[in-house]
Amino acid sequence: MKVPLLDLKPQYLSLKQEIDEAIQRVVDSQYFINGPDVAKLEEEVANYLNVKYAVGVSSGTDALLIALMALDIKPDDEVIVPTYSFFATAGVVARLNAKPIFTDIDPVTFNIDPKDFEKKISAKTKAVIPVHLFGQSADMNEIFNIAKNHNLFIIEDAAQAIGVQYKDGRFVGSIGDIGCFSFFPSKNLGGFGDGGIVTTNDEILYKKLKMLRMHGMEPKYYHKIIGGNFRLDTLQAAVLRVKLPHLDNWSAKRRQNAELYSKLFIEKGLAEEEGKILIDSKNKILLPKAVYKEHNNVAKNYHIYNQYVIRIEKRNELWNFLKEKEIGCEVYYPVPFHRQECFNFLNEKDENYTHSNFAADHSLALPVYPELTNEQINYVVNCIEEFFNK
Ligand SMILES: *Cc1c(COP(=O)(O)O)cnc(C)c1O
């Protein structure tokens, strides 16, 4: 049985008529830049996330970049980021000639370790970028209190986390100063190409973000500040508007798939419980743990599983084994920032990042996309069982 890591076709086919009509509407109008769909998407996303303002941008990476620019991050300023994330989180800091300062991650959630964050603050620190990795909120109360005690800005990297709620019910991207989202096709809300959006509750930041997106221009051809071309295409906005109302449903299906994986791994005796972080003979697979929130006496899982990531001892062997079985898997991420060649100049000590190093060496993401069938999930679990019984 073939099980791809991600198959975008069934989602498109389920909305084909509506999406094709939306694209044709834009093509007929020839209004490709700043067309009405962009402002409508911004309003709809802001409403969905319960945040005052949203500004469509060209990608998740540019969302992070424009956020740092709006907060006036300058050369030699320090910005704290977890060392275990997609490259953009640190790359944008370095591109402004500011200095990325790395922290280790929490071994259960894969997210920034608040204690290590606090330790890394210096007189030069201006901001922190917590990442809601794999679709689960970072520990925002802790991060917020530490950041605000030290007058730091918070930029949330919510690229993998649109629709994720923090344990108090607030949506990620509405908690810090600026939230950054990606519409890369493999995210839970994916466009037909690159795209992203930034969110804020601050009117001054909102106006600045809008100016920066159009070369810092206001009015036309008068440039108060230096920005760039960070616009979201009208075509992307039109496609995303069709998809947004289905997002919660898709995330719920990912959650069901994730819960089925964990249940089967536990039933087969390959793992003891979610969130256990010791590999031994009883707990061969480290399962991801959702942080649950009691809501009307019902435990509510806020994880949206952009990725379902397990950790195992012989990761590369299992990866090859599953490849032979035609099961798509991926390693997010094999090289944390402190080990990247481009950051050699920071002279980081590898031993300061034990949890990130462990994750980089042992993580494997299994297929979890919404349209995956229970039969496929059972097949993946059976193949992994076979691997351990070899
Ligand atoms: C995808 C991603 C980005 C970048 O988004 P793009 O739209 O690909 O530029 C940034 N941070 C994280 C954590 C991501 O997963």
* Residue 4 within any structural domain of the chain: no
Q: Output the CA 86–ligand 1 centroid distance in Å.
A: 6
* Residue 97 within any structural domain of the chain: yes
- 306-347 per-position pLDDT tens digit: 999 999 999 999 999 999 999 999 999 999 999 999 999 999
The answer on 380 and 346 residing in a single domain is: yes
Which CATH number do you get for residue 356?
3.90.1150.10
The pLDDT value recorded for residue 297 is 64
- 155-166 per-position pLDDT tens digit: 999 999 999 999
Assess whether pLDDT exceeds 80 at residue 36: yes
Q: Is 88 in the pocket of ligand 1 (CB under 6 A)?
A: yes
The answer on 320 and 298 residing in a single domain is: yes
Q: Is 134 in the pocket of ligand 1 (CB under 6 A)?
A: no
- 107-127 per-position pLDDT tens digit: 999 999 999 999 999 999 999
Q: Across the strands, what pairs with 53? A: 200
The pLDDT value recorded for residue 35 is 97
Q: Across the strands, what pairs with 217? A: 223
The answer on 285 and 215 residing in a single domain is: no
In 3-state terms, what secondary structure has residue 271?
Answer: coil
Q: Output the CA 344–ligand 1 centroid distance in Å.
A: 22
Tell me whether the omega of the peptide bond preceding residue 114 falls within 30 degrees of 0, making it cis: no
Residue range 178-190: average pLDDT?
98
* Residue 317 within any structural domain of the chain: yes
The pLDDT value recorded for residue 301 is 82
Q: What distance in Å separates the CA atoms of residue 86 and residue 211, rounded to the nearest whole number?
A: 27
* Residue 117 within any structural domain of the chain: yes
Assess whether pLDDT exceeds 70 at residue 387: yes
The answer on 164 and 43 residing in a single domain is: yes
* Residue 3 within any structural domain of the chain: no
Q: Output the CA 182–ligand 1 centroid distance in Å.
A: 6
84, 157, 337: which to mutate for ligand 1, most atoms within 8 A of CB?
Answer: 157
Q: Which two tokens stand for residue 155?
A: 């930029």
Question: For residue 67, which phi and psi values (nearest 5 degrees)?
Answer: -65, -45
Q: Output the CA 196–ligand 1 centroid distance in Å.
A: 9
Active site residue ranges: 187
Which CATH number do you get for residue 53?
3.40.640.10
Write out the H or E segment, with its range, that includes residue 317.
helix 315-324
Assess whether pLDDT exceeds 80 at residue 303: yes
66, 184, 197: which to mutate for ligand 1, most atoms within 8 A of CB?
Answer: 184
Range of the domain at 34: 9-102+109-245
Rounded to 10°, the helix 60-70/88-95 angle is 40
Does the pTM surpass 0.95? The reply is yes
Q: Output the CA 14–ligand 1 centroid distance in Å.
A: 26
The pLDDT value recorded for residue 294 is 64
Share of the chain above pLDDT 70, in %: 98
* Residue 127 within any structural domain of the chain: yes
The pLDDT value recorded for residue 13 is 98
Assess whether pLDDT exceeds 80 at residue 295: no
Spatial CA neighbour of 86 closest among 214, 187, 223: 187
Residue range 186-197: average pLDDT?
98
Write out the H or E segment, with its range, that includes residue 249.
helix 247-267
The answer on 17 and 126 residing in a single domain is: yes
The answer on 184 and 142 residing in a single domain is: yes
- State the number of CA atoms in the 13 A half-sphere of 139 facing the CB: 19
The answer on 233 and 115 residing in a single domain is: yes
Indicate the residue among 245, 269, 297 that finishes a domain: 245
Model confidence at 290, pLDDT cuts 50, 70, 90, reads confident
Rounded to 5 degrees, what angle do the CA atoms 138, 184, 10 make? 110
Nearest CA to ligand 1 atom 2: 159
How many distinct structural domains can be found in the chain?
2
The answer on 255 and 240 residing in a single domain is: no
The pLDDT value recorded for residue 34 is 96
Nearest CA to ligand 1 atom 1: 159
> DSSP characters for 274-326?
BT----SSS--EEBP---EEEETTEEEE----S-EEEEETTHHHHHHHHHHTT
Q: Is 179 in the pocket of ligand 1 (CB under 6 A)?
A: no
| Pairing between β-strand 78-82 and β-strand 99-103 as defined by DSSP bridges | parallel
Spatial CA neighbour of 56 closest among 198, 216, 218, 202: 198
The answer on 165 and 307 residing in a single domain is: no
137, 156, 160: which to mutate for ligand 1, most atoms within 8 A of CB?
Answer: 160
Q: What distance in Å separates the CA atoms of residue 79 and residue 303, rounded to the nearest whole number?
A: 26
The answer on 69 and 173 residing in a single domain is: yes
Assess whether pLDDT exceeds 80 at residue 83: yes
Indicate the residue among 245, 260, 282 that finishes a domain: 245
* Residue 2 within any structural domain of the chain: no
Indicate the residue among 214, 245, 276 that finishes a domain: 245
Asked if 103 and 83 touch (Cβ cutoff 8 Å), the reply is: yes
Q: Is 230 in the pocket of ligand 1 (CB under 6 A)?
A: no
The answer on 318 and 285 residing in a single domain is: yes
* Residue 1 within any structural domain of the chain: no
Tell me whether the omega of the peptide bond preceding residue 84 falls within 30 degrees of 0, making it cis: no
Q: What distance in Å separates the CA atoms of residue 177 and residue 153, rounded to the nearest whole number?
A: 6
Assess whether pLDDT exceeds 70 at residue 203: yes
Q: What distance in Å separates the CA atoms of residue 187 and residue 307, rounded to the nearest whole number?
A: 9
Q: Which two tokens stand for residue 182?
A: 């990606």
The answer on 252 and 212 residing in a single domain is: no
